[in-house]
Amino acid sequence: MAYVHVYTGNGKGKTTAAFGLAVRAACAGLKVYIGQFIKGMKYSELDIVKYFPNIELEQFGRGCFIKGKPDELDVKLAREGLKKVEEKLTSGKYDLVILDEANIAIYFNLFTVQELIGVLNKRSERTEVVVTGRYAPKELIDYADLVTEMVEVKHYYTKGVMARKGIEF
């Protein structure tokens, strides 16, 4: 049986947890696909494909994270990404599919929660799914089988520590 996980909340660690699961799955010989919405920048995690040939990764964003109102290109990239994810989910080739920052794509109205759930409903019965990002909508939380909320209790950025390579990016 394959389940839908949601990793959400304002705390750090949603993408990190999803990538940890990807590594675990890859080490168990499973086939993994990671689609990153919104993101288009170079992050250290993109190198995962160099070390794990059974992990595929694609980004569906521009070179920057959306600040303010998204434009037509942001919408186009996210919608193309959702279509690509649908192909991966329905192919039956993947044991685990991660939709990184899909909740943020919904938050910015790049696609709707109903559209995402519609795609998830079409997935192969053997494909486990992880959806990450802050602001998970109630409909997705209700739909999911497992929901983890990351809560920020304390973070060193409040002391002016900037993002560090290999830790935050």
Does some domain include residue 94? yes
Count CA atoms closer than 13 A to 111's CA, side-chain side: 22
Mind listing the pLDDT tens digit for each residue in 91-128? Answer: 999 999 999 999 999 999 999 999 999 999 999 999 99
56-81 confidence digits (pLDDT tens): 999 999 876 667 789 899 999 999 99
* pLDDT for 169 beyond 90: no
Band (pLDDT 50/70/90 cuts) for residue 140 is very high
Contact 139, 117 (CB under 8 A): yes
Residue 166 lies in a domain: no
Domain that holds residue 148: 4-159
> 109-131 as b/e, with b when 16 or more CB fall inside 10 Å?
ebbebeebbebbeebeeebbbbb
- Residue 68: its pLDDT value, please? 76
In a domain, 167, yes or no: no
Task: Examine residue 148 and state whether it is found in any structural domain, yes or no.
Answer: yes
CATH number at residue 16: 3.40.50.300
Q: Is residue 168 part of a domain?
A: no
pLDDT for the residue numbered 167: 87
Question: Which residue has tokens 């919104």?
Answer: 38
Q: What is the pLDDT of residue 66?
A: 65
- pLDDT of amino acid 73: 92
Q: Which two tokens stand for residue 45?
A: 């995690």
Is residue 61 situated within a structural domain?
Answer: yes
Average pLDDT over residues 1-5: 96
Nearest alpha-carbon partner for 134 in 149, 116, 113:
149
What percentage of residues in the chain have a pLDDT greater than 70?
98
- Count of structural domains within the chain: 1
C-alpha to C-alpha distance for 163 and 156, rounded to whole angstroms: 10
Mean pLDDT across the chain, nearest whole number? 94
Q: 0.75 cut: is pTM over it? A: yes
Is position 164 within any domain?
no
Specify if 169 maps to a domain: no
